[in-house]
Structure 1
Amino acid sequence: MRLAEWSDIGYRTSVRVFQRPAGGLRWVVIPTIHMGHPDYYWAIWQRLRSCQAVVAEQYDGPSSTGYAYVTAMRLARQRAARELVHQDIDYGALGVPIIFPDAHTAPPPEEDRRMPDLGWADVVVQTPGLAIQMALSGRDDWIVRDSLDIDDTTVFEPTPGEAIGPNGLTERDGLLIGVIREIDAAFAGEDIEVAIVFGAAHMPLVVRELTRRLGHLAAAEEAWLTAIDFDEPSYLRKPPLDGWMDW
């Protein structure tokens, strides 16, 4: 089952709904990338409006990792950096319960959802090295050099410094899976949608948990969302005003 894919024209991620054959709780699985066109994050936010709860990554604020990558790409004059922004989904504006399983792994956001000081420090540390790496790899092709196709069978190695717990999972993945199990047990028979919005690298594990352990099936595949489009004219990437968020 393909969850995210690169191609010569850009990067896109899937939106899939999972449900048991008997009905009840529906899981809306939305893999994300931490940088993309503004309308990509707008489309995610719009899809979340029909959900009764959201399980999201770290905190309700902009992504320091996405900001570092976008800034480095612009410094290195990467072609794909045109009009890209860092991930910034206003979960609080949805007015539904938002669960951040790994909230303690990131500093809390400042007032008005501004990036915290530690987030800015992370940007300062990451950006120079990323910019040099991108400049050395080629001005226009850095972002398409790596194959980042992700399927439900994809297994990612822990990043340097990540510890593996007795359950075989990293801390963040363990917290995410734990929350999914709790919600699924408590609301299995409810006619509701709960979304999971995490980085795409976390999602193969999530899909395997839903389908192999919890008994869900892929009930529906919705329209894919294009995060990065190398060729689309900029005027086609402007979303309608209805539901537009203050970026």
Structure 2
Amino acid sequence: MQIIEVTGFAVRSAVITMRSSGTPLEFVLFPMLHVAAPTFYAQVRLRLRTCDLVVMEGIRGRSAAASTLTLAYRFAPRRSRNGLQEQSDELLLPDGIPVVHADVSAAEAIADLKALSRWTYPLMLLAAPVMGLVFALRGPRAFLDEDLAVDDLPTTLRAELLADDPVAHAMTDRRDRRLLDALDEIHAKHNAKHNAEHRTEPLRVAVVYGAGHIPAIVTGLRERHGYRPRDAEWLTVCVPG
């Protein structure tokens, strides 16, 4: 199943609805890119208005190191000719819908990176600003890099190599576990409530997380509770110029 599609015409993100038999609860997965055209975030916000609960990505707390690492994508929107915008809660979250933040703290995220081999973490800090400048200069053309493409299953050699990448594991493993534990709690709590009240109307829970986390979410919901993708809708992230 394709999650992020990269072609010469556009970059698209698949909004995936997962359902399981015997429960009115459904999870709607929004694979996000942290920099995109403003229209992408407007489309996501519009669809979040139809949801009852939003589970939102966002590392808690402040960290100078975390701020440095995010320079890899924060430079591009500052160049107005790129026509790109940085993701923010203000852009995405509609008023009146409850939000759950299930992410790790900045200290936990940095600790996982520091546990990598001796030179990996310092090199990441040095490389992030350089990558940010390259992204800013290339603008939307940077999205043509096929490494942005994300599949649910590692069917390509590139995906198989990424699955064994210690940096990727350090950046996602703890966060994926924390998120899936939160989704477990939502599943148990809301199903118990609906069963007690004999209610059958759907409850839509949006999961708004970076596209790289979506394969683990799909696998976790399927293996733990039998949720499977039932519907999908493509949203255009940007059109490279």
TM-score (norm 2): 0.70
Q: Deviation at 1:142?
A: 3.9
Q: Deviation at 1:209?
A: 1.1
In structure 2, the CA distance between the partners of 1:57 and 1:72, relative to structure 1 (3 Å rule), is same
Q: Deviation at 1:160?
A: 3.4
Superposed, 1:53-72 pairs within 5 Å as: 53-58=53-58, 68-69=72-73, 71-72=75-76
Letter in 2 for 1:221: A
In structure 2, the CA distance between the partners of 1:147 and 1:128, relative to structure 1 (3 Å rule), is closer
1:171 paired residue number: 174
Matched, 1:22 2:22: yes
2:203 paired residue number: 192
Q: Does the CA contact (< 8 Å) of 1:72 and 1:128 recur in 2? A: no
Q: Deviation at 1:175?
A: 0.6
1:45 paired residue number: 45
2:99 paired residue number: 98
In structure 2, the CA distance between the partners of 1:218 and 1:140, relative to structure 1 (3 Å rule), is closer
Matched, 1:204 2:215: yes
2:143 paired residue number: 143
Q: Does the CA contact (< 8 Å) of 2:24 and 2:203 recur in 1? A: yes
2:167 paired residue number: 160
Deviations 1:155-189 (A, max 9, x none): 6546639659xxxx722111111101111111136
1:120 paired residue number: none
SS of 1:197 mapped into structure 2 = strand
In structure 2, the CA distance between the partners of 1:182 and 1:146, relative to structure 1 (3 Å rule), is same
Question: 2: distance between equivalents of 1:150 and 1:181?
Answer: 24
RMSD: 3.6
- 2:240 is aligned, of 192, 206, 230, to 230
Matched residues, number: 204
Q: Which runs of 5+ in 1 are unaligned?
A: 107-123, 232-247
SS of 2:89 mapped into structure 1 = coil
Q: Does the CA contact (< 8 Å) of 2:38 and 2:84 recur in 1? A: yes
In structure 2, the CA distance between the partners of 1:51 and 1:66, relative to structure 1 (3 Å rule), is farther
Question: Which is helix-richer, 1 or 2?
Answer: 2
Q: Deviation at 1:103?
A: 5.2
In structure 2, the CA distance between the partners of 1:20 and 1:7, relative to structure 1 (3 Å rule), is same
In structure 2, the CA distance between the partners of 1:149 and 1:134, relative to structure 1 (3 Å rule), is closer
Superposed, 1:80-95 pairs within 5 Å as: 82-90=82-90, 93-95=94-96
SS of 1:50 mapped into structure 2 = coil
Q: Does the CA contact (< 8 Å) of 1:31 and 1:203 recur in 2? A: yes
SS of 1:51 mapped into structure 2 = coil
2:35 paired residue number: 35
Deviations 1:22-69 (A, max 9, x none): 341011111000001111001111111111111110169xx9677752
Matched, 1:130 2:137: no
**What is the percentage of aligned positions where both structures have the same residue?**
28
TM-score (norm 1): 0.68
SS of 2:11 mapped into structure 1 = strand
